[in-house]
Structure 1
Amino acid sequence: MGASFDPRPHYHRSGFSRRHRAMSEINVTPFVDVMLVLLVVFMVAAPLLTVGVPIDLPRSDARPLPENTKPLNITIDKNGRIYLQDEEIALDSLVPRLKVIFENRQDDRIYVHGDKAVDYGTVIKVMGVMNAAGFSRVALVTDTEH
């Protein structure tokens, strides 16, 4: 009678360990997919995060801002005439009128409407006079593109 001794445990004979071994590889495909999606999202969103003064005159896709009070408008027509609301005003009397108006309207913004045919220097001169007087909340207004 002879006995044979198999040093391997019994479960090895059935092939259990060969079929159910732990996988030691990391699957990076889902990680790469998520990274590519995030890359595309950030590439699209990054240009929209830039801050600046909208000077794309005369048309833009921007929506109008909601206002609780009537906004303060300065309009420059194609002949270079300056209007405060609907009243024509000289450039040298613009700042004193704005100071009187802003005694009651502390945090309001001034909207500048410039005709696209007006000289760009005229618009800049009006904005420069207001800025030198301490009015820093000045915005250029554009028309919506159809």
Structure 2
Amino acid sequence: MAVSTNGGGFSSRRRSASALSEINVTPFVDVALVLLIIFMLTAHVMEFGIEIDVPKVRAVKESAQDLPIVQISKDGLVYLNKDEVNINDLGRVIHTKFGGKAKAVYVRADKDTVFNPIAQVLSELGAQGFQVNVVTQPEEATRRK
């Protein structure tokens, strides 16, 4: 808190009775801005939650023959690991070829394929209880070619 008074003398005595008290708000604004910056930085870090070290394991690479991969050509033909399959028999063929170990099926479709065969394949696989994963290609990889 600052008090403004001028030097001594008769005129200062007269002014001291009517001296104006002013609060200097500059330090208050400085502290408020520093707290605001600290809050903004810590709020961003708090969004991510607690940092946890996840245990590391060796990755097991599965070959493409061990995974059921359904491919749909531009013409609407459906293939299961390079063998042509009827859409209606797709679930049964996957069960017989891969047994009970196939829980997830990867679906690859040509970008120019009409949606109807893709919808039929997804519907058939969903009805058979498979987890369906759609395979895509990142945009960067397609731009490099």
Normalising by the smaller structure, the TM-score range is 0.5 to 0.7
Q: What SS class does the counterpart of residue 101 from structure 2 fall into? A: coil
Q: Structure 2: how far apart are the matches of 1:76 and 1:36?
A: 49
1:68 aligns with 2:61: yes
Deviation at 1:138, TM superposition (A): 0.7
Counterpart position of 2:94: 98
Please list every run of 5 or more consecutive structure 1 residues that lacks an aligned counterpart in the other structure.
1-24, 46-65
Letter in 2 for 1:96: R
- Taking a change above 3 Å as real, the CA distance of residues 138 and 35 of structure 1, as seen in their structure-2 partners, is same
Deviation at 1:67, TM superposition (A): 5.8
Higher helix content, 1 or 2: 2
Counterpart position of 1:120: 115
Moved over 2 A (4+): 25-31, 34-43, 101-104
Counterpart position of 2:139: 145
Deviation at 1:38, TM superposition (A): 5.1
Q: TM-score, normalized by length of structure 2?
A: 0.57
1:33 aligns with 2:37: yes
Higher RCO (CA 8 Å, separation ≥ 6 residues) = 1
The percentage of aligned residue pairs carrying the same residue is 21
Aligned length: 100
Coordinate RMSD, CA, aligned: 3.0
Please list every run of 5 or more consecutive structure 2 residues that lacks an aligned counterpart in the other structure.
1-27, 49-58, 141-145
Deviation at 1:140, TM superposition (A): 0.6
